[in-house]
């Protein structure tokens, strides 16, 4: 077989029966071989691996197969070819390209909540999905799906965009070693598919990671290449000042404006999309970072630095696109000052700065500091990775440091946040849903539903709450052309619900199915995968002998 490629990674896919075969790393100069292969069932996120086997081709080339190690992206536009394997003696059609697209799907007689700007609810609709995209939204009375299209009865159900969490910290082995201050955490402790499953099962198919590392870049690529089922990940590189609060590796350090500009340039070429500014940056360095990020088209999100210095307004400069917590405003003074809220609203409005609330975070801190036993009553904690579970239940800093003064202080932040959110919403400043997962008590996916309910309790309309978890995050990230609403041409990342979330945002929990890139994931299937995850985590916790170390506070 002629090939013009030398020492390039090559993606091959073959279909036979109910499986995909994906082989990687073709090196023709070294007697052509594939150094890895993955076999997985269609519509399945759990791959199985073939190791240390060989197959002889009729083209007189041997293919060596071993454990999957990487996902190539180089060669995605080649034509197909055919290989006849002598064992088994069957011809497989092998095609270069992305994973096999899901079969076409039609959801009939469903109520559609498009979440488009000014969009209205559409009743009794048929929504057709093909190749991972929404191809049509039509009245069911005038539509008959084509033959070969899987038909889903949506009678009495509601279809809306999948959800976005605008403030998370995704786990991987390196993140845990740094955050838990424990270099002994072994490789392979964290499985990417396990970390992502609770997000998917809760309908969260977009996250913004605000302490991304190089390992997170790889996790993002695994999702986008179809190797792992998970949410789309927007990556923020964190930059702090000369005395960083968090360990280097989770954050970058910029002591001067020149350092700040270089840190932004480095993050850009390393594959990050966003910059997160952190608490100890001085004003000149902050200004340089925001300016350089603007030049490189990298949105900036983060903290308001130099708390208590009386310089809050100076940090609201063009390019500072979003504040990562409502509590950032509360902490600009020694105690929250509600009289300052109109000034904060004016700063944000003038500068075009959005806000991620993370409202339920402070409520949860009050709860666990006041009543540590409440953690045992939260069943979703079983879906925390074992190292984080131990951190939350046995080394929780909010429990360890709890006292009446601390609890009263956080309660004052909760009260401040309520009024701040109401004022921001009244001023037309977009408020996004975010959780700061995995801060103790916050669990991937589950916490976002808590956040939506908190936003509604704090005075946002249900429409505003849902927009803050669908269309608005896509707009802020610059991906609104691809996702965030239910409309023809958009990515088919959707939720099928049993009840109307416009009537009660708590109904976002009542998920019949998650549709991820056009793949229909039923509640039953998702529950089975979650039960298996909980069982696996329980076994890992029982066998865990790795010391926890001294955890840092999450950013």
Nearest to 106 by CA among 144, 72, 162: 144
Instruction: Tell me the per-residue pLDDT of 228-286, one tens digit each, with 9 for 90 and over.
Output: 999 999 999 999 999 999 999 999 999 999 999 999 999 999 999 999 999 999 999 99
- For position 63, what pLDDT does the model report? 30
Residue environment code for 202-217, b if the CB has 16+ CB neighbours within 10 A, otherwise e: bbbbbbbbbbbbebbb
Tens of pLDDT, residues 403-424 = 999 999 999 999 999 999 999 9
CB atoms within 10 A of CB 308: 10
What is residue 143's predicted lDDT score, i.e. its pLDDT?
87
Please tell me the predicted confidence (pLDDT) of residue 48: 34
CB neighbour burial string for 494-508, b if at least 16 within 10 angstroms, e if fewer: bbbbebbbbeebebb
pTM for the whole structure: 0.83
Query: In sequence order, what are the residues at sequence separation of 6 or more whose Cβ sits closer than 8 angstroms to the Cβ of residue 336?
Result: 330, 412, 413, 415, 416
Q: Are 212 and 219 in contact (CB under 8 A)?
A: no
pLDDT at 512: 98
pLDDT at position 83: 30
Does residue 208 contact residue 167 with C-beta atoms inside 8 Å?
Answer: yes
Strand, coil or helix: 9: coil
What's the pLDDT score for residue 549?
A: 58
Cα dist. 153→106, 110, 122, 157, 525 in Å?
9, 8, 16, 9, 18
Secondary element (H or E) of residue 431: strand 431-432
**pLDDT for res 444:** 98
Report the DSSP beta bridge partners of residue 230: none
Q: How far is CA 266 from CA 170, 186, 271, 333, 363, in A?
A: 21, 28, 9, 34, 37
Domains of the chain in start order, with CATH, are 163-479 (3.20.20.140)
- Distance set, CA 470 to CA 92, 96, 241, 321, 473 (Å): 41, 33, 33, 18, 6
pLDDT digits (tens, 9 = 90+) for 506-533: 999 999 999 999 999 999 999 999 999 9
End-to-end CA distance of the chain: 53
Residue 521: in which H helix or E strand, if any?
strand 519-522
Distance CA 128, CA 134 (A): 6
- Mean pLDDT (the chain) is 84
| Residue ranges of the chain whose pLDDT lies below 70 | 1-99, 544-555
How many CB atoms are located within 10 Å of the residue 247 CB?
12
pLDDT given at position 73: 38
From CA 282, how far away is CA 306, in angstroms rounded?
7
Alpha carbon of residue 73 to chain centroid: 21
DSSP strand pairing (133-139 vs 89-96): unpaired
């Amino acid at each position: 077989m002629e090939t013009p490629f030398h020492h390039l990674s090559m993606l091959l896919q073959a279909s036979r029966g109910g499986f995909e075969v994906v082989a990687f790393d073709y090196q023709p100069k070294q007697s052509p071989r594939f150094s890895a292969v993955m076999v997985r069932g269609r519509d399945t996120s759990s791959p199985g691996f073939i190791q240390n086997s060989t197959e002889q081709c009729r083209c007189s080339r041997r293919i060596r197969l071993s454990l999957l190690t990487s996902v190539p992206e180089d060669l995605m536009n080649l034509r197909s070819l055919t290989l006849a394997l002598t064992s088994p003696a069957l011809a497989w059609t092998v095609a270069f390209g992305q994973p096999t697209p899901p079969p076409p799907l039609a959801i009939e007689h469903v109520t559609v909540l498009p979440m488009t700007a000014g969009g209205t609810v559409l009743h009794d609709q048929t929504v057709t999905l093909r190749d991972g995209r929404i191809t049509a939204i039509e009245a069911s009375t005038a539509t008959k799906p084509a033959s070969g299209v899987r038909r889903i009865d949506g009678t009495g159900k509601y279809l809306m965009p999948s959800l976005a969490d605008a403030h998370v910290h995704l786990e991987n082995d390196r993140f845990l070693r740094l955050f838990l201050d424990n270099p002994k955490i072994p490789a392979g402790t964290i499985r990417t598919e396990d970390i992502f499953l609770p997000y998917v099962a809760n309908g969260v198919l977009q996250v913004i990671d605000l302490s991304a590392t190089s390992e997170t870049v790889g996790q993002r690529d695994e999702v986008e290449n179809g190797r792992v089922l998970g949410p789309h990940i927007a990556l923020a590189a964190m930059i702090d000042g000369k005395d960083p609060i968090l360990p280097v590796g989770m954050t970058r350090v910029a002591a001067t404006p020149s350092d700040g500009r270089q840190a932004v340039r480095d993050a850009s070429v390393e594959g990050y999309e966003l910059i997160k500014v952190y608490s100890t940056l001085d004003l000149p360095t902050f200004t340089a970072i925001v300016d350089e990020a603007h030049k490189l088209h990298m949105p900036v999100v983060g903290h308001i630095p130099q708390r208590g210095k009386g310089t809050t307004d100076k940090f609201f400069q063009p390019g500072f696109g979003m504040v990562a917590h409502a509590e950032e405003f509360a902490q600009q003074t020694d105690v929250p000052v509600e009289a300052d809220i109109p000034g904060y609203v004016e700063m944000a409005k003038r500068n075009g700065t959005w806000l991620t609330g993370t409202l339920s975070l402070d409520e949860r801190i009050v709860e666990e500091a006041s009543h540590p036993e409440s953690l045992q009553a939260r069943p979703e904690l079983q879906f925390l990775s074992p190292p984080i579970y131990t951190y939350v239940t046995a080394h929780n800093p909010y429990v360890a440091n709890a006292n009446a003064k601390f609890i009263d202080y956080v309660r004052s932040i909760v009260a401040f946040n309520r009024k701040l959110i109401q004022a921001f919403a009244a001023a037309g400043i977009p408020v996004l849903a975010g959780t700061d997962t995995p801060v103790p008590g916050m669990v991937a996916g589950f916490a976002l539903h808590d956040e939506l309910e908190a936003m509604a309790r704090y005075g946002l309309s249900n429409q505003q709450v849902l927009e803050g978890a669908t269309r608005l995050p896509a707009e802020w990230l610059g991906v609104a052309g691809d996702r965030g609403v239910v409309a023809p041409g958009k990515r088919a990342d959707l939720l099928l619900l049993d009840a109307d979330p416009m009537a009660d945002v708590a109904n976002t929990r009542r998920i019949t199915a998650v549709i991820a890139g056009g793949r229909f994931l039923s509640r039953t299937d998702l529950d089975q995968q979650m039960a298996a995850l909980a069982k696996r985590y329980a076994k890992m916790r029982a066998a865990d002998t790795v010391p926890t170390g001294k955890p840092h506070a999450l950013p």
